[in-house]
Each structure stands twice: as C-alpha cells, then as structure tokens.
Structure 1
Amino acid sequence: MLAIRKATVADCELIHTLAWQTFPETYKDILSPEQSEYMMEWMYSLENLRKQMEEEGHIYFIAYHNDEACGYVSIQQQGENLFHLQKIYVLPSFRGVHCGSFLFHEAVRYIKEIHPTPCVMELNVNRNNKALKFYEHMGMRIVREGDFPIGNGYYMNDYIMELEID
C-alpha cells in the first residue's frame, strides 16, 4: 500500500538519505563518480535541501510503502502557469511497485490543487536516462533539449519534457 505526505524542513535528513540511495544508482552508467558526487552535494546537501524548501519554493513529497519511505518527488512553480518537476526518485528495492507513477500522479494532483486552471509541468531528464520511457508513458513529450552548465566543468545533457495539465 502506497501513501504520501508533504515533507517539511525536518525531513531534509530523510530526503538526503533517500537521495544517496537513489541518485548514484540511477546515474552510475551515465555520470562519472566525480560528477555524481558533485551533483549530490549541489542538490542534496542538508544546507541545499533547506534552501530549496525555504527560499526557492521546492515542495517535496515523500512516498511510503507499508510505512517505509520508498521515494520522493519535488515540484517548483516557475511561472504563472509553469511548474517544474525538479526531482522524482524511487529506491531501487521499490521499483516495480508503481511508486514512480504514484509520485508522478501525486505531483500532478498537487499542481491541480494549487493551480486549478490549465498549466504546464516541465522536467529535465538526462538524454541517456532509462526513465525517459517512463515519462513518455506518463504522457510527457520532449519539447526541446539543452546542455546546461552546473559548475566544475560539468553539464546536464537533458531533454526538456512537458505535460499539459487541464
């Protein structure tokens, strides 16, 4: 049974722990260990998680399967009618229990709740990430691509996908 709850700043440590169990595994065949570690610090240090929540408007949700944290999603409003799905990750041991689609649907539900008029949800996905098929299955489509510098000479080589939400 899957359940979800909105995270607070008090959950930064849990999100940090979940991230260390999901992010490096997800990108082990795509990123160098050095880039993966750099990105973990950039996105998932306790300080940066707090900043995302308190200053940058990231809303995190944590999914639970039988009371065990199994994944998380983060959404950020970036314009009047534009939201960005910043992060969605599921622990490897919970892949196959539909936690990813649960998190995705909950993100869309939340956006509809706070923004009842039509809008767009975008996300960046690495062009070599197997999750691309998942996002296409969820109704998203590639609208553009880019190579985004993130510091230390590293780039995010992404597709930008979108979903129109009515």
Structure 2
Amino acid sequence: MIRIATLDDIPVIQQIAYKTWPSTYGAIISEDQIKYMLDLMYSTESLVQQMSKGHQFYLFESDNAQRDNNEVLGFASVSNELEGVFKLNKLYIIPMAHKTGAGKALLTAVKAYAKENGGKQLILQVNKQNPAIEFYKKQGLSILAENVFELEKGFVMDDYIMGIIL
C-alpha cells in the first residue's frame, strides 16, 4: 500500500535511509561520504525543509494482518524542478523487500503525481555504479547524460541523469 508521507513520518524515512544507504553505497563511496550525505539529505531539518518546499514523499507499507501497524518498507520523493520536468529525488527500499514490487509501486505513484501536476518528463540522478540502474531501465528510463557533482569536503557524486517522457 502506498500513502503520502507527512512530517510525522520523518523518523521512519530516516530509519529506512540509514538501513539502505550502507548496503546500497558501501562498495561505491566511502563511509565518511555516506555519513556526510545522510546528514545532508536526511537530517530532520533537511527533510522538513524538503517537505515545506513541496517535495512529495510516498511510503510503501506492507499489508501485514498480524500487526496493528503496517511496516514501512520503502519511500520515494519527487519534486517539480522546471516547467514540465519533475525529479525523482529518492527511492529506497529496505534490502529484505527488494524484488517485491515495492520500488515499482513507488515509481508508479511518483509518475502519476508528476503527470497529474503537469509533468511531461521525470528525471533522476543515480550513481554510475548503483545496481538500481538496471531497475530504472526496466521501468522505461534511459540515460540522458553524465554529470560529476562536487560537494563539500572533497566528496563527489559521479552520476547518470536518467529520464522518461510521461
């Protein structure tokens, strides 16, 4: 089940980010850069700011009848970047829930949101070594460009820009 996240969901978004980043990026970037990026993008202050600027966050919850609360298995966020261009900023699924359809469901929700709000194209940045590139290609996205983004402390993001026409 997909639902829109609120400010009250910030702790669960942070938990998922802290669970997924080491396994996703541990072999790609340094532990110091992972810590830096998590602080930069997932501090409470940063997430509040993203939500207040109109970033739409979605949560994927498992339908577990044995629990009172559904377990959140992943999240995504999307924002309107330019006229008709929306950006998938984040899409993370906890490792035990990979290949369950959670990522595809979140991406579908993001595409629908972009279309409903005048989006003609969805883009994203993805590390060139991230195995998720194959997932995105299977979902119809293609590589549009390459870009190296320089960050503070000498860190860099060596990314592909991927996109799909909506």
Q: TM-score, normalised by structure 1?
A: 0.93
* Structure 1 equivalent of residue 66 of structure 2: none
Runs (4+) off by over 3 Å: none
Q: Which runs of 5+ in 1 are unaligned?
A: none
* Structure 2 equivalent of residue 122 of structure 1: 123
Letter in 1 for 2:62: H
Is 1:158 paired with 2:156?
no
Letter in 2 for 1:58: H
1:58 to 25, 41, 55: 55
Letter in 1 for 2:164: L
**Cα drift, residue 33 of structure 1:** 0.4
* Structure 2 equivalent of residue 91 of structure 1: 94
Aligned-partner Cα distance in 2 for 1:10–1:49: 11
Is 1:134 paired with 2:135?
yes
CA RMSD of superposed structures (Å): 1.0
Q: 1 or 2, which has the higher strand percentage? A: 1
Aligned-partner Cα distance in 1 for 2:154–2:73: 32
How many positions carry a matched residue from both structures?
A: 160
**Cα drift, residue 9 of structure 1:** 1.3
Aligned-partner Cα distance in 2 for 1:69–1:157: 29
**Cα drift, residue 94 of structure 1:** 0.7
1:107 to 107, 110, 122: 110
SS at match of 2:151: strand
Q: Which runs of 5+ in 2 are unaligned?
A: 64-69
Letter in 2 for 1:65: S
Aligned-partner Cα distance in 2 for 1:114–1:120: 11
